[in-house]
């Protein structure tokens, strides 16, 4: 801030702006350099606190920042440092300012890059001095210009939070769903930066607000968008105060996989509706597909399987994660009717097998990538075998698809009590009183009926 002790004592530590004479004409260069330069200030957003910009080309400023970073890392033990580049981005990219900084040989782009390099180098120095831990320290940049920051920040929030608009007259401006900072606008902007994720750096999706009184359908949209973004997520709700149902839903998106889904209709819709994320493990591969309805009314969604990279000649089993519902077997295309307003369908597509197979789980949004350690059909014993590591101490359900020609006749589990439900063609096996540090092993015995095949 311009009235801070540091700025008051050392105004030369800040990037300077030339003063303007009362006539409106700029003073001579020599006179300006002697008398009329003062720290330039800016506001991070409309109505926010005024801030001054430290001049990282000044040796004493660099020393001051290194000292602060060492204290943050080694004394406070922080593993994530968030840096807001908004002020540097706003001021250094504005050609109207007549700016002055300590090292006159640097261009504004070089000064900007020096800021990122300084922060990263300071973190590395702090870690090298602290031999008691090898904990990684991440540097997250907000509103950073891509080019000058490449290689210097670990996490990037790619201009996801524009200032609130004060010009809008529609009553929708009071509705966070339609607000420029709302989920649908944020995810739409995020889509244009997907290719950078895990290539230039990792992305920050941003803050997540899911608690009441926010409607549950909007909270689920927010959680689904965050999970499929692949980026880092910060929960802005007080976790200890979350309602039990919201806490349970939020828990289902953690741990995040870090892989970003891709919008298949990025160039067709102002707000991409269909997002696709392939998932694979050493033993299996499947697809997650999210179908968003951003409208205030019921709407349909149609897409062909080839846009997801799925074979048109194959048949796929489809499960709705949030509704815990088997939608049936499809090929070629899928037509989703009457999707409720402001909601999302998170679907799991698995290629149909000729024997019983895992369809989905309700434990984690990836539906098998984290919580299922092994699962498969044993033809010799006619058993479906499954090893699961529950992620938390709640009831957890696995959904098993049973093709024609097979009938479940028995269940055995080790490591958990269970409940069993058979509603052809789906077996639901729910583990009760699970412990996250204990494995659950299950076996479902089948018998063949007419038409069954090995």
pLDDT at 348: 98
The answer, yes or no, to whether residue 247 has pLDDT greater than 70, is yes
Summarize pLDDT for 104-147 with one digit per residue, the tens.
999 888 998 999 899 999 998 988 887 777 778 888 887 777 77
* Residue with the larger pLDDT of the pair 255 and 31: 255
Which pairing describes strands 80-84 and 138-142: parallel, antiparallel, or unpaired? parallel
Task: Say whether pLDDT at 158 is over 70.
Answer: no
219: number of Cβ within 10 Å: 21
- The strand order across the sheet containing 138-142 reads 80-84, 138-142, 155-157, 202-208, 232-235
* The pLDDT of residue 198: 59
pLDDT computed for residue 38 by the predictor: 85
Better pLDDT: 94 or 342:
342
> Mean pLDDT across the chain, nearest whole number?
84
Burial class (CB in 10 A: 0-12, 13-18, 19+), 98: middle
Predicted confidence at residue 175, as pLDDT, reads 66
Give the domain ranges of the chain: 5-157, 171-260, 261-352, 355-454
Contact 444, 427 (CB under 8 A): yes
Contact 277, 310 (CB under 8 A): no
pLDDT of res. 313: 85
Residues 106 and 57 sit within 8 Å (Cβ to Cβ): yes
3-state secondary structure the chain: CCCCHHHHHCHHHECEEECECCCCCECCHHHHHHHHEEECEEECCCCCCEEECECCCCHHHHHHHHHHHHHHHHHCCCCEEEEECHHHHHHHCCCCCCEECCCCCCCHHHHHHHHHHHHHHHHHHHHHHCCCCCCCCEEEEECCCHHHHCCCCCEEECCCCCCCCCCCCCHHHHCCCCCCCCHHHHHHHHHCCHHHECCCEEEEEEEECCCCCCCHHHHHHHHHHHHHHCCEEEECCCHHHCCHHHHHHHHCCCCCCCCCCEECCCCCCCCCCEEEEEEEECCEEEEEEEEEECCCCCEEEEEEHHHHCCCCCCCEEEEECCCCEEEEEECCEEEEEEECCCEEEEEEEEECCCCCEEEEECCCCCCCCCCEEEEEEECCCCEEEEEECCCCCCCEEEEEECCCCEEEEEEEEECCEEEEEEECCEEEEEEECCCCCCCEEEEEEEEECCCCCC
**Residue 140 phi, psi (nearest 5):** -105, 130
Q: Would you state the pLDDT for residue 200?
A: 61
pLDDT at residue 2 above 90? no
Name the CATH topology of 355-454: Immunoglobulin-like (2.60.40)
Q: Which whole number is the average pLDDT over 9-31?
A: 66
C-alpha triplet 139, 144, 148: angle, nearest 5°: 90
Mean pLDDT over 414-442 rounds to: 91
- pLDDT given for residue 292 in this prediction: 96
Answer whether CATH 3.20.20.70 is correct for domain 5-157. yes
Query: How far is it, in rounded angstroms, from Cα 267 to Cα 249?
Result: 31
Is the confidence at residue 379, as pLDDT, over 50? yes
Same fold, 261-352 and 355-454: yes
∠ Cα 445 282 372 (to 5°): 50
Whether residue 32 has pLDDT greater than 60? no
Question: Among candidates 54, 34, 33, 32, which has minimal Cα distance to 42?
Answer: 54
What integer pLDDT is reported at residue 300 of this predicted model? 96
Reported pTM:
0.78
- The residue-averaged pLDDT of 56-82 equals 90
Which pLDDT belongs to residue 1? 63
Q: What is the mean pLDDT of residues 403-431?
A: 95
**d(Cα 12, Cα 1) in Å, to the nearest integer?**
14
Q: What fold characterizes domain 261-352? A: Immunoglobulin-like (2.60.40)
pLDDT digits over 357-376, tens only?
999 999 999 999 999 999 99
pLDDT grade for 162, boundaries at 50, 70 and 90: very low
Q: What pLDDT does 166 receive? A: 34
Size of the chain in residues: 454
| Upstream peptide bond of 297 is cis (omega within 30 degrees of 0) | no
Average pLDDT over every residue of 228-233: 84
Of 64-78, 81-95, 276-290, the one with minimum mean pLDDT is 81-95
Q: What is the pLDDT of residues 79-114, one digit of tens each?
A: 888 888 888 888 887 766 788 899 999 988 899 899
Give dist(CA 32, CA 289) in Å, integer. 60
The per-residue pLDDT for 87 is 83
Q: How confident is the model at residue 61 (pLDDT cuts 50, 70, 90)?
A: very high
* Range among 103-117, 149-163, 191-205 rated most confident: 103-117
For the cut 50, the answer to whether the pLDDT of residue 254 exceeds it is: yes
Give dist(CA 258, CA 261) in Å, integer: 10
- Closest-CA residue to 305 (of 295, 294, 316): 316
Q: What whole-number percentage of the chain has pLDDT above 70?
A: 87
Instruction: Give the pLDDT score at 22.
Output: 43
Greatest CA separation for the chain: 98
- Render the burial of 407-423: b for 16+ CB within 10 Å, e for the rest: ebeebebebbebeeebe
Which band of pLDDT confidence, cut at 50, 70 and 90, is reported for residue 448? very high
pLDDT of residue 201: 64
Closest CA to 5 of 48, 64, 62: 64
Whether 320 and 360 have beta carbons less than 8 Å apart is answered as no
Q: Note the pLDDT tens digit of each residue in 384-412.
A: 999 999 888 888 999 999 999 999 999 99
The model's confidence at residue 196, banded by pLDDT at 50, 70 and 90, is low
Q: Count CA atoms closer than 13 A to 339's CA, side-chain side.
A: 24
Confidence of residue 167 (pLDDT cuts 50, 70, 90): very low
Instruction: Look at 16-20, 206-210, 426-430 and tell me which has the smallest mean pLDDT.
Output: 16-20
How far apart are the C-alpha atoms of 316 and 414, rounded to whole Å? 31
């Amino acid at each position: 801030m311009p009235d801070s002790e540091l700025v008051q004592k050392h105004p030369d530590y800040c990037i300077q702006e030339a003063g303007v004479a009362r006539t409106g004409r700029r003073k001579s260069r020599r006179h300006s350099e002697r008398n009329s330069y003062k720290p330039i200030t800016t506001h991070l957003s409309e109505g926010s606190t005024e801030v001054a910009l430290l001049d990282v080309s000044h040796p004493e400023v660099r020393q001051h920042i290194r000292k602060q970073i060492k204290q943050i890392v080694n004394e406070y033990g922080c593993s994530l440092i968030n840096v807001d580049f908004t002020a540097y981005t706003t001021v250094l990219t504005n050609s109207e300012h007549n700016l002055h900084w300590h090292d006159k040989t640097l261009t504004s782009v070089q000064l900007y890059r020096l800021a990122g390099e300084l922060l990263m180098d300071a973190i590395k120095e702090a870690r090298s001095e602290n031999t008691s831990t090898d904990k990684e320290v991440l540097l997250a940049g907000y509103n950073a210009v891509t080019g000058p920051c490449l290689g210097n920040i670990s996490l990037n929030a790619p201009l996801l939070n524009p200032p609130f608009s004060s010009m809008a007259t529609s009553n929708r401006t009071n509705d966070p769903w339609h607000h420029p900072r709302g989920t649908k606008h944020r995810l739409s902007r995020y889509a244009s930066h997907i290719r950078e994720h895990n290539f230039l750096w990792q992305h920050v999706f941003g803050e997540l607000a899911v608690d009441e009184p926010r409607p549950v359908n909007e909270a689920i949209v927010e959680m689904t968008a965050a999970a499929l973004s692949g980026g880092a997520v910060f929960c802005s709700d007080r976790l200890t105060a979350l309602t039990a149902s919201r806490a349970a839903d939020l828990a289902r998106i953690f741990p995040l996989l870090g892989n970003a889904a891709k919008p298949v209709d990025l160039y067709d819709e102002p707000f991409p509706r269909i997002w696709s994320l392939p998932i694979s493990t050493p033993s299996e591969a499947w697809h997650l597909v999210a179908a968003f309805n951003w409208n205030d009314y019921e709407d349909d969604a149609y897409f062909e399987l080839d846009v997801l990279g799925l074979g048109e000649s194959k048949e796929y089993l489809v499960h709705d994660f949030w509704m815990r519902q088997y939608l049936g077997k499809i090929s070629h295309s899928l037509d989703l009717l009457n999707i409720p307003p402001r909601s999302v369908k998170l679907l799991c597509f698995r290629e149909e097998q000729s024997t019983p197979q895992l369809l989905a789980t309700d434990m984690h949004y990836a539906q098998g990538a984290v919580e299922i350690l092994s699962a498969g059909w044993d033809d010799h014993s006619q058993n479906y075998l499954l090893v699961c590591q529950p992620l938390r101490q709640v009831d957890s359900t696995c959904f098993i698809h049973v093709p024609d020609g097979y009938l479940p006749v028995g269940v055995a589990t080790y490591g958990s009590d269970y409940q069993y439900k058979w509603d052809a063609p789906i077996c639901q096996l729910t583990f009760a009183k699970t412990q996250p540090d204990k494995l659950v092993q299950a076996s479902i015995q089948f018998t063949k009926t007419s038409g069954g095949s090995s």
